[in-house]
Amino acid sequence: MTLVERAIEKLRRNSEQATKQPTRPVGSLVAEAPAHNDLSGPPKTTPERRIVVDREALREAGYLPETAVDRRFADHYRQIKRPLISQALASPAPVPGSPRLIMMASALPGDGKTFTSINLALSMARERDVSVVLVDADTPKPHVSRIFGVEKEAGLLDALGEPNADIESFVLPTDVGGLSIVPAGKTHDGATELLASARMAAVVTRLIARDPRRIVLFDSPPLLVSSESKALSSIAGQVVLVVRSGATPQQAVLDALEQLSDRPVSLVLNQGRVSLTGGYYGYGSYGNYGEPRDGEKE
């Protein structure tokens, strides 16, 4: 069994537990004294909040590999992130459809999309010239928010529902340098309409306008079982389709690609024993989908 297979299998076993919770919290939100680094204005007095990530708890919950394979695992994600970052920084304009807006997608639940989103965000955050905002846009099942302990915090849906809200006030920095998280926010019956609205376009534009080196990853709902994901694909400049080798039906992959026919789509193959580079992940770019593809799974 490959290291990725072991990590995904551990994650799946944990997800089958009745509580669906890590044995201990993975993240905790703390308030700290503000840094007085802005000499142009009055000192800040409001405590700044940030998420403190317990790496060992994240590992125990199955979202990081065993320490013995950390280096090889990191190399796999370097292969995945490099073309995404290159495309993102080649077109820094802060507009909807910018390649700095990356949608993490899957055809069906259980393909390892959130696992991939978290590890890709952590890998990108290691870059010296990039900052990453991981947005929990899986509003029906906000796994990222739950994993990092911010499921009760205001987030994306609150920003969309309040016309005067500044999305930056919902961005929670972490103690992982270069990584911030936007929770999903309060459940809303009209989530699909909010995600498809002009307000959403304004919010994502604001997110990337703040910093020309900022990349935004959206952890989205599975394409074939939700309407929210289609709305998200309309504002993303890049889409990463995570599929599970040997598990996701071929037709499901093709149907997911058909939904993304007007988007540049890249493929991450989880649990594949053979990859384009001889490693554990397969990575390929589809460009604008137009041909039948093999039905690999994440």
pLDDT at 80 over 90: yes
Q: Is the pLDDT of residue 151 over 80?
A: yes
- Per-residue model confidence as pLDDT tens digits over 111-125: 999 999 999 999 999
- Provide the token pair at 158: 């609150």
254 pLDDT more than 90: yes
N-term to C-term CA, the chain = 15
DSSP state letters, 168-204:
GGG-EEBSSTTEEEE---S--TTHHHHHTSHHHHHHH
pLDDT tens profile 188-222: 889 999 999 999 999 999 999 999 999 999 999 99
Rounded average pLDDT over 251-265? 90
142-146, 151-155, 286-290, range with the lowest pLDDT: 286-290
Whether CATH 3.40.50.300 fits 70-288: yes
Which parts of 126-165 fold into alpha helices (H)? Answer: 143-147, 156-161
Q: Where are the domains of the chain?
A: 70-288
Q: What average pLDDT does this structure show over 63-79?
A: 85
Angle formed at CA 173 by CA 167 and CA 179, multiple of 5 degrees: 105
**Given pLDDT bands bounded at 50, 70 and 90, which one contains residue 93?**
confident
Q: What integer pLDDT is reported at residue 49 of this predicted model? A: 87
* Single pTM value for the model: 0.80
Which of 95, 14, 105 is CA-nearest to residue 59? Answer: 14
